[in-house]
Amino acid sequence: MTAHAMEEMAEDGLDITDLEHAILSGQVARIEKGDPRGTNYVIEGMAMDGITPVGSVGRFARGDRYLIITVYEITAV
């Protein structure tokens, strides 16, 4: 997990268990192939409270290691 992801997660009042739950119970919402560093995967799921929608962006780096780039609470526009 990047420092940026940890900062963004904290700013939205989320913690690591919220992120884990969102990834494990969520689904891939989008696959973004435009980044020269690698394909990004946007995963959307629910936080531990079952109410708060959480998004995360990550990519596979160095083999099968998954790097979480950012984490955020999904809000209505």
pLDDT, one tens digit per residue, over 4-43 is 999 999 999 999 999 999 999 999 999 999 999 999 999 9
Q: Let me know: does 26 contact 44? Beta carbons within 8 Å.
A: yes
Phi and psi torsions of 19, nearest 5°:
-65, -50
Sheet with 27-32: list strands edge to edge.
27-32, 40-46, 53-61, 65-73
Q: How many whole angstroms separate alpha carbon 62 and alpha carbon 75?
A: 32
Checking if the pLDDT of 77 tops 80, the result is no
Checking if the pLDDT of 67 tops 90, the result is yes
Checking if the pLDDT of 63 tops 90, the result is no
